[in-house]
Homo-oligomer: A and B are copies of this chain.
Amino acid sequence: MLPILHLNGYKIANPTVLARIPDRELMSLLEGYGHKPYLVEGDDPATVHQRFAAVMDEVIDEIGRIQHDARGGEASERPRWPLIVLRTPKGWTGPKEVDGLPTEGTWRSHQVPLAGLRENPEHLRQLQDWLASYRPEELFDENGSLLPELAELAPEGNRRMSANPVTNGRTVLEPLRLPDFRDYAVPVDSPGTTVAEATRVLGTWLRDVIRNNPTTFRLMGPDETLSNRLGAVFEATDRVWEAETLPTDEHLARSGRVMEVLSEHLCQGWLEGYLLTGRHGMFSCYEAFIHIVDSMVNQHAKWLKVAAEIPWRQPIASLNYLLTSHVWRQDHNGFSHQDPGFIDHLVNKKAKIVRVYLPPDANTLLSVADHCLRSRNYINLIVAGKQPALSYLNMEDAALHCRRGLGIWEWAGNEPAPGTRQAAGPGTGASRALPDVVMACAGDVPTLETLAAVDLLRQYLPDLTVRVVNVWI
């Protein structure tokens, strides 16, 4: 990647900060970001084009040298990747002045430098002069067709920017080789009698997802992989880290499939970009802090919606969030760490784009995660706890429950057994009798609290019939 900062000096109605600080400060800033900046500036098109071409040649050679050294194992320290600052006037080659006010090189060339062409012959003349400055007579023949020798300059096939497979799901997305999630199940002989940390169990499966897919899966997070109890992944990989390391560091390496930085914005941006290249990933985050990327996920949701309407757009892997350290268990971190609002933010999106999963325990989390990593073109949100919590379903029941999306938990209620069902009344035929109370729950802690409430009901009102329905999607 070669970043090019086009410093044309203005935003909508103001100069930009980077265009108005001294060159020395700008170069310091870019060096502080770890780059080696090259400045190309000017306002004569022919001269700037030549200079820019020369600098492009130079930096592409430099990128080649960095890649060569890295691949030959000769790189001893983090490379300083080149970056080009291109400083040209805003509205370059457009009208110099409109109505006596300077236009080229000012914010006035933003969006519509010449307005009211129908009523203003002077503006129309300026527009004609401007367009004529591109010398169309040298570009088109007498029929208005592009000259063949110019048309031939355009690249063909996958070399066209719009057809580059690197930006279109690699054209054919390769599915992940997923280990069988059933092999990672926690044993559940009887519901609600054993305890597991759901995300810690998931970590063992993710470890093997990474082992099986060493170049096509990444786990992003704001330095919370261990805190979110996914630490088993470090048996298979490291955190990618290019800066200095110390002997006391653990799991930091030049290459690694875990990308941690304490910026949810960066994690989101990295994952979006990685998915677009036809690969797969998951973003794990504390529930309270994921709101930081609200605006970014909005735009990704819009992109998914529009891309689905474009025939040549290939499917991409879903954007998978694992939110843990959730609102229910912020006892020690307090109010600052509480915010369950991201679910609400997502369910406002189109149903074709978003899915929300609330697995009640470790085995259902495994089943859900497997489902999400196989899905395409969704934004999947999984909310699951990391604290020790009861397991309710063995893996067979968990997988069945997940396929159904919701289910009656017979063992948690006290309805008459199916064999002894009474008809609920006229017209209900074979359907089961309605219980006195239906308790519905979604998510691990609400499920626990619901079961505790049912326990009290059964103690204090033993004649009451209670049904428990668990909803996980």
Interface residues of A (CB under 8 A from B): 11-17, 20-22, 25-34, 102, 105-106, 223-227, 239, 241, 243-246, 248-249, 252, 260-262, 289, 291-292, 294-295, 298-299, 302, 306, 335-336, 339, 341, 344-345, 348
Known A11-B223, A12-B224, A32-B33; further 13 A-B contacts with Cβ < 8 A: A12-B226, A12-B227, A13-B223, A13-B226, A14-B252, A21-B243, A26-B32, A28-B28, A289-B295, A294-B295, A298-B339, A298-B341, A299-B336
Residues of B close to A345: CB separation below 8 A: 294, 341, 345
Q: Which residues of B contact A299 (CB under 8 A)?
A: 336
Question: Complex formed: what's the CA distance from A339 to B301 in Å?
Answer: 12
Q: Once the chains bind, are A17 and B243 in contact (CB under 8 Å)?
A: yes
Interface contact B306-A335, CB-CB below 8 Å: yes
When chains A and B are docked, how far (Å) is the Cα of A105 from the Cα of B245? 13
Are B294 and A335 interface neighbours, CB within 8 A?
Answer: no
Q: So how many copies of this chain end up in the complex?
A: 2
Chain B residue nearest to A261 (CB atoms) is B17
Q: How far is the CA of A26 from the CA of B244 in the complex (A)?
A: 13
Given contacts A12-B224, A14-B260, A20-B243, contact A32 B31 (CB under 8 A): yes
Contacts of A21 in B (CB 8 A): 34, 243-244
User: Which residues does chain B contribute within 8 Å of A28, judged by CB atoms?
Assistant: 28-29, 31-32
Do B20 and A29 touch (CB < 8 A)? Answer: no
Are the C-beta atoms of B243 and A14 separated by less than 8 Å? no
Contact A12 B223 (CB under 8 A): yes
What's the Cα separation between A348 and B245 when bound, in Å?
Answer: 44
Q: Once bound together, how far apart are the Cα atoms of A26 and B261, in whole Å?
A: 17
Do residues B20 and A244 form an inter-chain contact, with CB atoms below 8 A? yes
B contact residues around A294 at 8 Å (CB): 291-292, 294-295, 345
